[in-house]
Amino acid sequence: MRYQRVPPSEKRGRVHTSTVTVSVLPEARELSVLVSESDLRWSVCRSGGKGGQHVNKTNSAVQVTHLPTGIQLRVESSRSQHLNREAARTMLAARLLQDKQDQSKRQRDTERRQQVGRGMRADKRRTIALQRDAVVDHRTGKRTTWRRYSRGHIDDLW
């Protein structure tokens, strides 16, 4: 949209022209992730590192694979297999949520880019000229007054 105005500080009455882009997108909704137990493949193994004979004899490390996405995690932070399972489940849910949010953001950015265009003056759809009290829609070629347009009579331009 091209916006023309004469600012109050302008002494010689020169018209200032600005370009305005507007995009209308649906409100973002809260995302959540449900991880089904049937989508997970668990395996246990011996952890490495410090701990002496204990880590060499017990299967406390946990590996989980999320079958639909192929994400694999290995947790061996605790000496307890149960605690490592819970930690792996929490980490997997966080990772899946992050992937879902990234995908939603990419889709939203694509929609916004399609609506806004390049933001250049050549992309103009409408011209609002306050000093002439005119609004012109360049796609349809129709005109209306700024007063009617600002009061919501957008149908005049279609």
- Burial (CB < 10 A; 0-12, 13-18, 19+), residue 61, is buried
Confidence of residue 106 (pLDDT cuts 50, 70, 90): very high
Indicate whether 27 belongs to any domain.
no
User: pLDDT of 112-154, one tens digit each?
Assistant: 888 777 766 667 778 888 778 888 888 888 888 888 888 888 7
Q: Is there a contact between 92 and 64 (Cβ–Cβ < 8 Å)?
A: yes
Q: Give yes or no: residues 110 and 128 share one domain.
A: no
pLDDT digits (tens, 9 = 90+) for 4-51: 888 888 788 788 887 777 777 777 677 778 888 899 999 888 776 666
107 and 47 both lie in a single domain: yes
pTM value? 0.61
Mark whether 95 and 66 lie in a shared domain: yes
